[in-house]
Amino acid sequence: MKKKESLIIISTLLFFFIFIFIYSKEVSQSIIFSISLWKDNLLPSLFPFLLVSELLIEYGFIDLISSFLGKYMVIFFNLPKESSYAFFTSLFSGFPSGSKYVKDLLEKKLLTEEEANYLIMFTHYSNPLFIVSTIGILLLNNIKYGYIILFSHILSNILIAFIYKKKNKICNVYNRKELKEYDNYLFKKNEAFITILINAIWKSFKILINMLGIIMFFLMITTIVNKLFYFPPLLKATISGLLEMTQGVNYISKLNLSINIKSAIIGAMISFSGLSIHFQVKSIIETSKIKYKNFLVARITQSIICFWLIMIISKIL
């Protein structure tokens, strides 16, 4: 890290350090809200998926799901059949788990570096229950728009896959030495189940604890920024959403806007996901050769596509 960059970071952190004391009550409330958000939403919704996915990977589920769904990844995306595990599992588990699944496949040499950098662009899905229940029912008080947001969020992600697909790339999935080695690995496991279970629990909680810390940090920053500067309601909600998605979505739902506009903005926010989620993804992929730039470009593109999909669909329906 360059000296100039370090000085900028130190100066910024000192600035926030001072205002943490000035707005200690508000900052404390944001920390309490962060813990509540993590405890009530992320922990119960993500931990089971992270834990079970670790166990499934260790016991060869990738090979099983690939035999049923893998051909579609080859046909539509020119990716190896094993990539179907990351794609279909991320649809239900919610972000940032998709980045973890892609990294797992890369580490097990079931994906090349190029394939992993492509796959991470369209395996970023919000938890369906969060969109339909929390946003559709609780925040918008209209389950129809919850389903519209969910459909648009999924469709925009799939469109990303086609937009950034390598036109002339043909994936050779049937003659890989690595896949053969992986098959041998599956049937020669010597570890006891309890050992594998403990390792899976540790890996899952490590990811969740990192997520909690990042959420705390960004909600704290959002609180201080909102205290220091006055923003019009829509701009305040947008800035909050860019920093921490859930807070931005909450603000948008309370604005005096038509429900289709609210839904479109919320859909765009979910698809971009906020810097808090981006940092969580970076924390997962930082030790791999997966490029964050690819993920960022995909999220910007997806948020634009999702916004307009919701606007069009809500007009039709």
Structural domain for 307, as ranges: 24-316
Residue 275 lies in a domain: yes
CA dist 282 to 12, 54, 285, Å?
Answer: 21, 20, 5
Report the pLDDT value the prediction gives residue 312, as an integer from 0 to 100: 94
Residue 219 lies in a domain: yes
Q: Does the model's pTM come out above 0.85?
A: no
Q: Which of these, 158, 147, 156, lies nearest to 87 by C-alpha position?
A: 158
Report the pLDDT value the prediction gives residue 63, as an integer from 0 to 100: 67
Please say whether the beta carbons of 316 and 151 come within 8 A. no
CA dist 284 to 37, 132, 167, 202, 225, Å?
Answer: 20, 27, 29, 14, 27
Residue 6 lies in a domain: no
pLDDT mean for each 10 residues of the chain (317 residues)? 69 78 81 81 75 74 71 85 84 80 87 91 86 85 92 94 73 46 48 80 82 80 80 86 85 90 94 88 88 93 96 90
Report the pLDDT value the prediction gives residue 185, as an integer from 0 to 100: 46
Residue 13 lies in a domain: no
Report the pLDDT value the prediction gives residue 167, as an integer from 0 to 100: 58
Which of helix, strand or coil describes residue 164? coil
Residue 8 lies in a domain: no
Please say whether the beta carbons of 161 and 12 come within 8 A. no
Other Cβ atoms less than 10 A from the Cβ of 12: the count is 11
Residue 204 lies in a domain: yes
Please say whether the beta carbons of 108 and 60 come within 8 A. no
Other Cβ atoms less than 10 A from the Cβ of 315: the count is 8
**Count of structural domains, the chain:** 1
